[in-house]
Structure formats: C-alpha cells, structure tokens
Structure 1
Amino acid sequence: MLELTQRPAHLRQLMTQRVGSRVLMELLMYHTTRVADSDGSAATQICQAVVTAMDAEEGESLWEHPVAHVLVKNWLKTESEHGESPMATALCQAYKGKLVSQMAQTNRGAFCLLALSSTTDANLKKSIAQELKKGRKELTKKCDGTHTKGYEALLAAIPK
C-alpha cells in the first residue's frame, strides 16, 4: 500500500475517491499511531506525496476537490487529536511563507488551512498564526462574493 502512495497517478485517484481517501487515512493512522516507526519515515513519505499531489498540474487543484480537501482537513484534525503532526509539518514546509496564497486560494482550501492552524505542535502553530496575520487582508478580500464560509471561518480564527 505504501508503494501506491509514491505513484502520483494512483495517489490522485485514491485522494479523489471517497473509499480511496478512507484507505489513505487508515494507512496514515497505521503508520503514525500503531507502527513503531521511530523516525516516522513512512508517515512522512505519505504526507509529502499527498502535499505534492495537491498541487500537481493534472486538471483541477485538489484544494478545491470535494473529496480531496475533506481528506486533508480530516487528516489534520485527526493528527491534532492524536498529538501527531506529520501532515502539518509537510504542509508547513511545502508552503512556508505562502500558506494563505497557496492553500487558501480556494474556499475549500481555507477550511484545510483552518484545520492546519489547530495543530498541537507549538512551533508550527506559531508560524501558521504569523502567516495568517500577514494574510488577513488577502483573506478579507476573498470574503466578497459567494462560497466564502471557509474564508470567514479562517478569518474568525486568526488571533488579533
């Protein structure tokens, strides 16, 4: 299964199908909470592959995909509940300095960024909060129009 996550075409298929996204979620949870993987390499590999797939140039951005964005959002919430952060770390490394412009480029992506901001890793949380404060103006502009609940929720969560 782990090998499938390293093949972009297969990974995108898993991420965009409800059943496939559940399989990915179980795979990640298995490698983060049940396997004595001292360096966390399997979980890190999965997360990095998912982050890469989110921005792949094949068709629509997965940040706006109805299934893929829910996968990432739920993944981040589950990590927070378990006190783990491989996906949060992978996202913060990949989008350092551009969390708002990349992840929150869509309303659904804003929900993912909101879930990311609830990470239990104190250093990541601080870094995310700083980026959100810097991007407040950009997010406020995106609240004009329709389909803005994600942006509105994200703005409400930004510390003053």
Structure 2
Amino acid sequence: MAPSAVLVGRAAADMVTSAITLGALLLVGLAVGWRPSGGPAAFVAAVGLLLLLRFALLWVGIYLGLLVRSPGAVTPVQTLEFPFGFLSGLFVAPATMPLVVGAVAEWNPLSSTAAATRALFGNPGWGGDSWVAQHPVLMAVVWPFVIVAVFAPLSVHRYREMSR
C-alpha cells in the first residue's frame, strides 16, 4: 500500500474517534444546560471547524510520532501540546497578556478556532482589536489548511524514508 494511503487511513480512523468524542461532549453540554444560539447552520459550521482543526493536528501528531525512535520518547513529545494550549486565547483574553505573549496567543490556531466556534455557537468570547481577532472564522479555516499543507507532506516523506 502507498505510504500516503496508510497515513490517510490512520488519520481517517482517528477522525472517526474524534467525531464520536466531540459528539459525546456536545451531548453532555446539552444535558447540563448549554444551548447554542447561533442556529443549525452555524452549529454545523462550528462542529466542522473543530473537526477541521483536529484533522490538521492529527498530521502534526503523525509527523512527530514518526520522528520519535521509541515508545518511551512519546511522553516528552506529548508535553509540547501544553505550551501550545496555554499560549492561546482559550482560557484568558490575549489582550490581558503581556504584549508579545498576547500576540502569540492571538495568532495561535487554537485561539482562532475557539473564537470562531464561540461566535458560531452564539457564545462570543472576548474578541480583540487585531486583524486575526476580527476574522476568527476565516483564520479557523486557513490555519488547518496551512498546517496540513506543511505536515502531511513531511509525514509522507518521513514514512517513505522509514520504510526503505
């Protein structure tokens, strides 16, 4: 089987798991009283943006997984996700952060997707004055395509090197 087909198959299997997990999370949210107010089309768009970012981050994970030499090296690589999450606008408004950290947080793909889904679900966040903060839906679409454009070819190349 072609290396790209193997990797795409793995990503597809992970996406099914991600969709089921996201569905369960949304159902629990609805059960505890969360109500999206953006309408059905906006709801579907928000879920699509979350899955699109997940798909892009899967390719990052595949590439990093292909770089490590042993199963024991996976844990240190997994710790890379924490700065990525904390240097975003998920928990704190970037405007309240120091200037450089706030700029990094505003341009973080997680921040764009979080802001876009909040807006689409009808639960807007804190916004901001920067260009990226004013266009979260656009950036929530652009970032995953950029990430996939970088990491999918890198993953296929690495997989081919390993199978020689």
Is TM more than 0.5 here?
Answer: no
- Bigger-Rg structure (1/2): 2
Q: TM-score, length-normalised on structure 1?
A: 0.30
TM-score of the superposition, structure 2-length normalised? 0.29
More relative contact order, 1 or 2 (CA 8 Å, 6+ apart):
2
